Structure 1
Amino acid sequence: MNIVDSADGTSIAYEQVGEGPVVVIIGGALSTASDAAALAAGLADEGFRAVTWDRRARGSSGDARGSTPQREVDDLAAVIDAVGGNATVLGHSSGSILALYAASRGVPIEALFLSEPPFRFGVDEPADDLAERLQGLVDQGDAAQAVVTFQLEGVGLPKEMVDQIRASDQFERLVPLGQSTVYDTLLAREVSTPTPEMLTVPQPVTVLRGEQTFPVLVTAADRLVEAIDHAELVIVPESVMHRPDPAATARVVRERAS
């Protein structure tokens, strides 16, 4: 892992694989850099230098309490600066929200690929106090309940699915990411409906989604493409139920990235 300091001094860990134009991957909620390893390998196979990184409060990155969406924008800017000063950005899920928000805030991004962005456009938004309740759970030492509450209220997963996740071996890996649920919730609360600046970014915008995915994500992708005049929607059949297929997604980037 390489380390770069963000604007507030938080250490952000990142890795690189491959040679060629830079593509920075931003993972979604409850994910770390390692979860994007297959996608990075796919991009490397297509001739890119793929960069994965641990968003703050995840994996090998640090955390400064009191984080805001702007601090996550600063984190991305620090990573891009460390790997050359400009990059194509591929965001998945909440990572795609962060990517578009960062572009609107002036981070040097050449092109945007937004994979199943969970914008809600004001429909069925989580409770306004969700981030504060999640922070309270983490502060009380109950990161596990923070993860569960986030999955139920922030993501909107059915209770049966959340119960299955909690009973699985996967859940133990999610608990250390409890603090990050606060930051994803704050990001969604601030820009769940894209701002005018987000809808008028100058960069090329490609929105990706699978044929088989959650209906709310289909709606979000369609609405975002309608709202951004120059955006293109690409349906990736190989990506199923909010899991981007590495090879197919990398091919889409190769076909459109300069």
Structure 2
Amino acid sequence: MTEMASGNGAATAMSKVLSSDGTAIAFERVGQGPALILVGGALSHRALPGMVELTGLLSRHFTVVNYDRRGRGDSGDREPYAVEREIEDLDAMINMVGGSASVWGISSGGVLALKAAAHGLAINKLALYEPPFVAGGSGRRPPADHQERLTRLVAAGRRSEAAAYFMTKVVGVPSVLVAAMRLLPRWSRLKAVANTLPYDAAVMGDYSLPVRQLGLITVPTLVMAGERSPAVRRQAARELTEAVPTARHRPLEEQNHNVSMKALAPVLVEYFKD
């Protein structure tokens, strides 16, 4: 794993590191202090406003690595996709910052971080915001063939339709709201990374808690959920906390799945600096 460009602890330009399969993974490294790597969820990338804002807030306390997961932004991609390749990408980020790091992940990015921790990556501490499991046998599940349908839409070049399918059939956003979203400038940013939606589907599987895998995690883990999020999200956070032997739960007041980075950052600073 070779770093193709490097920073010096202050704000840096985009750099790249080679993952184990030779894929170039783009990142920015900002700030000084202990290393903290951010893992975005579905339709997220390092230039997303929320990721940029959180990077700035945390860089006052940490060396923050904000990276493009494979297939997104300035990162490369290579077929066939496998979740193991994304774990290797995160491992490349950890090696780049010195061989160990703390990790924060949101939504399906949090699930990827969990799988990396279970795999034994050198993660010091782990923090997660609302990994979107469907817990307790209740709650709405995506269609059983959602990964296949997303893959077909992407292969046909129908990224906008893939993003709309994901929002309506997987996330559960009402169709009328998605129709309105498609008229906004933000939709073009979502469409640009919709090719990776099958990857997040692979990370999530059938959305059940992988209890056996979670039991392998030995690093301190903070599981967060917004108090205004749907009950299924809050229940999933509680059940996830019970499944990870080293986890503790932290609700965030006045927050939902679209968490305010200004509300989130102080919690992360307190946790990772403890």
Partner Cα distance (2:234, 2:179) in 1: 25
Q: Is the 8 A contact 2:21 2:85 kept in 1?
A: yes
Matches within 5 A, 1:207-226: 207-226=223-242
Partner Cα distance (1:71, 1:157) in 2: 30
Counterpart amino acid of residue 243 in structure 1: N
Look up the match of 2:100: 86
How far off its partner does 1:247 sit? 3.5
Q: What is the RMSD of the two structures over their aligned residues, measured on CA atoms?
A: 1.7
Q: Percent identity, aligned pairs only?
A: 38
Partner Cα distance (2:262, 2:185) in 1: 27
Look up the match of 1:52: 66
Structure 2: where are the runs of 5+ without partners?
A: 1-13
TM-score, length basis structure 1: 0.93
CA deviation string 1:225-253 (max 9, x = no partner):
12223311112225x32133334322222
Q: Is the 8 A contact 2:134 2:207 kept in 1?
A: no
How far off its partner does 1:224 sit? 1.0
Structure 1: where are the runs of 5+ without partners?
A: none
Look up the match of 2:266: 251
How far off its partner does 1:129 sit? 2.2
CA deviation string 1:181-227 (max 9, x = no partner):
01001111166422413233110010112222233211211211122
TM-score, length basis structure 2: 0.88
Counterpart amino acid of residue 11 in structure 1: A
Q: State whether structure 2 residue 211 is matched by structure 1 residue 198.
A: no
Q: State whether structure 2 residue 202 is matched by structure 1 residue 189.
A: no
Matches within 5 A, 1:51-200: 51-121=65-135, 123=138, 124-189=140-205, 192-200=208-216
Q: Secondary structure at the match of 1:23?
A: strand
Higher relative contact order (CA 8 A, sep 6+): 1
Partner Cα distance (1:256, 1:100) in 2: 17
Q: Secondary structure at the match of 1:233?
A: strand
Counterpart amino acid of residue 130 in structure 2: E
- Flag the structure with higher helix content: 1
Counterpart amino acid of residue 184 in structure 1: D
Q: State whether structure 2 residue 27 is matched by structure 1 residue 14.
A: yes
CA deviation string 1:144-194 (max 9, x = no partner):
111111112222222222222112221111111121101001111166422
Partner Cα distance (1:138, 1:248) in 2: 35
Partner Cα distance (2:218, 2:145) in 1: 34
Cα pair distance change 1:66/1:128, threshold 3 Å: farther
Paired residues in the alignment total 256
Counterpart amino acid of residue 259 in structure 2: P
